[in-house]
Amino acid sequence: MDIDAFVTAHRPVWDRLDHLVKHRSSLTGAEVDELVELYQRVATHLSMVRSSSKDPMLVGRLSALVARARSAVTGAHTPAWREVTRFFTVSFPVVAYRARWWWLAVTVAFLVVGWVMGAWVAANPDVQASIASPDEITQLVEEDFADYYSEHPAASFASRVWTNNAWVAAQMIMYAAVLGLPIPYALYANAENVAVSGGLMASRDKLDIFFGLILPHGLLELTAIFLAAAVGLRLGWTVVDPGPRRRIEALAEQGRAVMSVAMGLVVVLFVSGLIEAFVTPSGLPTWARVGIGVLAEAVFLAYVIIFGRRALRENETGDIERAPDVAPTA
């Protein structure tokens, strides 16, 4: 092949493709069609040059032009940092914000059940006796409850706490697959555990120690679990009331939203685990430890409200961009 003649014959096509690529954001419909056609032609030219020419400059120029044209035709991939930014500023907070009433209902129900049950345990010696012997209760109240937070190295404990809390939240998420039906029982079981410990501590006038050790990490930890339960229950309710869309479309969108919450809560529970490992057992005064927990809770709620409300005003749903109409089945 006469490479000089080949370049002379096709240079106008290459220059035209280069022009279209540079102005791709303002092309008309006809120009877009032309861009696609020229991209295919120049890709063929590149193949021909590679097979019959040793000119590295020409091969390099055409390779770069074809790569730029391919990006213009197929669309460049969104940089990973943009996807991460969108997740934390749009997807996760708006899903949490849209579930706010479910979230609030779960929180109130948990607190009411936990408080009533804890008061019942604290006020009834017979109930306490059915839970443990007086010596075992004394051991729990005087030593075991506080020692739990300091008996392991902080880094190891943080890892264990994070794993355990993530598993509890994951259970709430997984229960969404069966329409959230087991979630009330799971919440009740957790409320019972907290209430029994609190009730036994209160029976021995150690409620200040109980809240001093629970609140620093528990505020954020329980808030995260309540959110996981809320989106799981909301998914179950979507089966009953899908709204104006087809039921399968509503389930697909809400199912993807549940997964957004699952990924976001990994970070939230990581922070909670750090507080439980490094702040809860620390030598800081109780007001300082509780204050750190309150601050972490306030920051998280403010984050959800500010970013979630803004995204909702922009008609964001938290769903993935260019989502399919239904969830894939294979």
Q: What tens digit of pLDDT does each residue of 210-265 get? A: 999 899 999 999 999 999 999 888 887 777 777 776 777 666 767 777 778 888 88
**Among candidate residues 201, 265, 226, the one with its CA nearest the CA of residue 110:** 226
**Among candidate residues 276, 283, 269, 230, the one with its CA nearest the CA of residue 96:** 230
What integer pLDDT is reported at residue 328 of this predicted model?
40
What integer pLDDT is reported at residue 77 of this predicted model?
52
Are 177 and 229 a contacting pair, CB within 8 Å?
A: no
What integer pLDDT is reported at residue 154 of this predicted model?
63
Q: How many Å apart are CA 261 and CA 176, to the nearest integer?
A: 12
Max CA pair span of the chain = 101
> Residue 317: how many CA atoms within 13 Å on its side-chain side?
13
Measured CA distances, 212 to 106, 184, 196, 328 (Å): 24, 27, 16, 47
Exposed e or buried b per residue across 283-308, where buried means at least 16 C-beta atoms within 10 angstroms of its C-beta:
eeeeeebbebbeebbeebeebbeebb
Helix (H, G, I), strand (E, B) or coil at 105: helix
What integer pLDDT is reported at residue 124 of this predicted model?
93
- Give me 306's structure tokens: 């500010």
- Give me 263's structure tokens: 């990924």
Any idea what DSSP says for residue 76? P
Q: Which residues of the chain have pLDDT under 70?
A: 1, 53-54, 75-80, 151-162, 176-177, 245, 249-251, 253, 319-330
Q: How many Å apart are CA 196 and CA 115, to the nearest integer?
A: 10
Indicate the pTM of the whole model.
0.70
Are 297 and 219 a contacting pair, CB within 8 Å?
A: yes
In 162-288, the DSSP E strands lie at: none
- 250-303 tens-digit pLDDT: 667 677 777 788 888 888 988 998 998 899 888 899 999 999 999 999 999 999
In the chain, the DSSP E strands lie at: none
Estimate to the nearest angstrom the gap between the alpha carbon of 297 and the chain centroid: 17
Backbone angles phi, psi at 56, to 5 degrees: -65, -30
* Degrees to nearest 5, angle at CA 186 with 92 and 144: 100
What integer pLDDT is reported at residue 322 of this predicted model?
42
Q: How many Å apart are CA 122 and CA 116, to the nearest integer?
A: 10
